[in-house]
Amino acid sequence: MEKNQYIVALEIGSSKIVGAIAEKTSAGYLSVKHLQEERHLNSVRYGIVQNVENIKSSVNRILKNLEGMVDGRITQVYMGVSGRSLHSILSEVNRSVGTTEPITKELIDRIIHDATSTPIRNYETVDIVPRAYYVDKVETPNPVGQFGSSIKIKVNFIVAKPSLKLNLNRVMSFGVPVKDYIVTPLAVAEQILSESDRELGCMLVDMGAETTTVTIYKNKALIYLSTLPLGGRNLTRDVMTGKNVLEETAENVKKNINNPLDPANVSNVVIEGVNSSEAANYISARTGEIIANINQQLAYAGISSNDIQSIVLIGGSAHIGGLQQKIEETIKVKVRKGQNPMGLNILNPEINRMEYIEVFSLLAKAAEMIEDGESCIELQQYADGPTFEGPRAPRPEYVDPKPELPREPKEPKKKPGKSRWKAWGDKLSRLMSEDDAAEEDQ
């Protein structure tokens, strides 16, 4: 019987680290029951690890806790990649080909590989996503098997600052290797967007604590990816600065205003010493700036709002009251909240929450990538009972740990009788004679 495979994924964000385990059966059934997280502040800025040692300790604790949940040892992990510098760069590769031989997958791979041989200044290529193929200047969804004299490939290079992956490697230096790096926004888009979303045009907006990632699809292809250095924490800090309160207080105020993006209709109540309508003014102004930046990404991608049919909103800051409606009003496109991957069965209701959509998507993507028979966990093996292999070993002789010492022979006991009384009388006579002799000497 084939053994189930275990997949471990880690996602390091600006406000928390999440690790989770999925179990994949031989039939391809994927489920997740175990998840661990640790909240942190200022150790990761804009999705890039700043304090390596702090994050390393948190990751180590998360993995140890997960190991205890499954009674095994984690041997490798899949790591999500996201952060401020992550974005796409469009490139074109042209190649003349022979007309007598069909275009093969190996040729396509070689052309794409050659395109990556030239480094991009100040950036590291994290992933490569083909966007479109052209054979003799005619666009085709799949050039393999076709004949032509030329082929052109439009390729999206997903790049980031070298420090992004470098510090992730440093975090994992305690001994658990990274099996593969997965670009988180691409994994999420692949797992939660439908085929019609990607074909008709869709913008995926992941609004986190300190970054907002925009991923745009059209005609079933990725056409744009960018990460903005703005997120929910900017709203909190505006309230903190404007009202001169601690960040924790400002965060609680933000969460307890029903619709902070409509300040005119916010109830004039005091929350932890802060007037809610005044706080809403700060939150609304900054949110308007973030939405304007999101809208601008369409122009950077070379399209307009008419070219997309929907916007899917996810991320820890997506819960802000009125955000969905505000984006719809500004960009003029229908907005919906994203849902967890359909192909992943979440067995534990306590972790079945939208805030974990990134790590769930990483697990689902890794389940497609992992090779047959491979696993990220070595389970502890226990024998069901005694097992015997080969001839039975001879039973060892029993050795008493405290051997009894040999006893000295005892004199036989004399039976009481006249001889016994006679002996006592003789002894008494001798004692009296000795006393008389002593008196005469004196």
| Cα 120 versus chain centre, distance | 29
Mean pLDDT over all residues of the chain? 88
Least confident piece of the model among 235-239, 323-327, 426-430: 426-430
Instruction: In whole angstroms, give the CA distance from residue 89 to residue 122.
Output: 13
With CA atoms as reference, report the closest residue to 209 among 23, 45, 406: 45
pLDDT band at 267 (very low <50, low <70, confident <90, very high): confident
pLDDT band at 236 (very low <50, low <70, confident <90, very high): very high
Q: Considering just the CA atoms, what is the radius of gyration of the chain in Å?
A: 39
Q: Mean pLDDT throughout 186-200?
A: 97
| Domains contained in the chain, CATH given | 5-85+161-379 (3.30.420.40), 87-160 (3.30.1490.110)
Angle (CA) 10-12-14 rounded to 5° is 160
Instruction: In whole angstroms, give the CA distance from residue 301 to residue 182.
Output: 23
Element (H, E) at 231: none
Instruction: In whole angstroms, give the CA distance from residue 312 to residue 69.
Output: 34
With CA atoms as reference, report the closest residue to 239 among 230, 227, 251, 228: 251
User: pTM higher than 0.75, yes or no?
Assistant: yes
Instruction: In whole angstroms, give the CA distance from residue 187 to residue 80.
Output: 9
Element (H, E) at 237: helix 232-243
425 versus 318: the higher-pLDDT residue is 318
Q: Mean pLDDT throughout 187-212?
A: 97
Angle (CA) 421-424-428 rounded to 5° is 140
pLDDT in tens, 120-136: 889 999 999 999 999 99
Element (H, E) at 16: strand 16-24
Predicted local distance difference test score (pLDDT) of residue 410: 54
Residue 53 has pLDDT above 90, yes or no: yes
Residue 270 has pLDDT above 90, yes or no: yes
Q: CB of 228 within 8 A of CB of 286? A: no
Residue 200 has pLDDT above 90, yes or no: yes
Residue 139 has pLDDT above 90, yes or no: yes
- Other C-beta atoms closer than 10 Å to the C-beta of 169 total 13
Residue 96 has pLDDT above 60, yes or no: yes
Residue 392 has pLDDT above 60, yes or no: no
pLDDT in tens, 403-424: 445 555 555 554 544 445 455 4
Residue 195 has pLDDT above 60, yes or no: yes
